[in-house]
Amino acid sequence: MKSHVWRPLYVALAIIALILIARTFMVPKDFGIQERGYMYGMHRKSNEAEWQAVKVKYKTAAACKECHEHNYNDIKASPHTDISCENCHGPLLDHPKDPTGLSIDRSRQLCLRCHLKLPYKASDRGSLKGINPDTHNPGAECVMCHVPHNPKPMNQKLEVKK
């Protein structure tokens, strides 16, 4: 055969050899080895202690229920029932030990993350009740008329006795 056929073959074989050599130095010896035998995965027995030391950033709403049961019950009885507390309040990892130091975002922008009217008819996002921020009480914060844990307009909640 002519050399124009052999040269690319040698180059390809050299690249494969370099990859295999690099792999032996870069991949840890216990990568993929587990109790049930050899399995590929992003897990190594030697770094389990490292992962156990990592602090959990997000937890479930059940963790919030311990101290905030009233708010938890309100939100579970509202249209926001499927939304985790951390979607609006941030990760539990940052929750201070002193509750007076907790900052609560009551800005209009936080509500608009989900309630901005979007024309997506083919997805569930289009079925969310949305608003046009330019026409729906512009400049007013949502919490002036809505309780976030039970977001119906306040005037709908009040019963007027005649």
Query: Which is more confidently placed, 91 or 103?
Result: 91
Tell me: the pLDDT tens digits for 12-29? 999 999 999 999 898 877
The per-residue pLDDT for 162 is: 38
Residue 152's H or E segment, with its range, is: strand 150-153
Beta pairing class for 150-153 and 146-147? antiparallel
pTM to 2 decimal places: 0.55
What average pLDDT does this structure show over 108-123? 80
The per-residue pLDDT for 31 is: 76
The per-residue pLDDT for 62 is: 83
The per-residue pLDDT for 13 is: 96
Largest interatomic CA distance in the chain: 102
The per-residue pLDDT for 153 is: 60
Tell me: the pLDDT tens digits for 45-59? 778 888 888 887 888
Q: What percent of the chain has pLDDT over 70?
A: 76
Indicate the pLDDT class of residue 159, thresholds 50, 70 and 90.
Answer: very low
Contact yes or no for 117/130 (Cβ under 8 A): yes
Half-sphere exposure (Cβ direction) of 80: Cα atoms closer than 13 Å = 22
The residues, ordered by sequence, that sit 6+ positions from 92 with a Cβ below 8 Å of its Cβ are: 56, 57, 58, 59, 63, 64, 86
Contact yes or no for 108/133 (Cβ under 8 A): yes
Long-range contacts of 122-127 (CB under 8 A, 24+ apart): none
The tokens describing 17, both together, are 């050899």
User: If 0-12 CB within 10 Å is exposed, 13-18 middle and 19+ buried, where does residue 148 land?
Assistant: buried
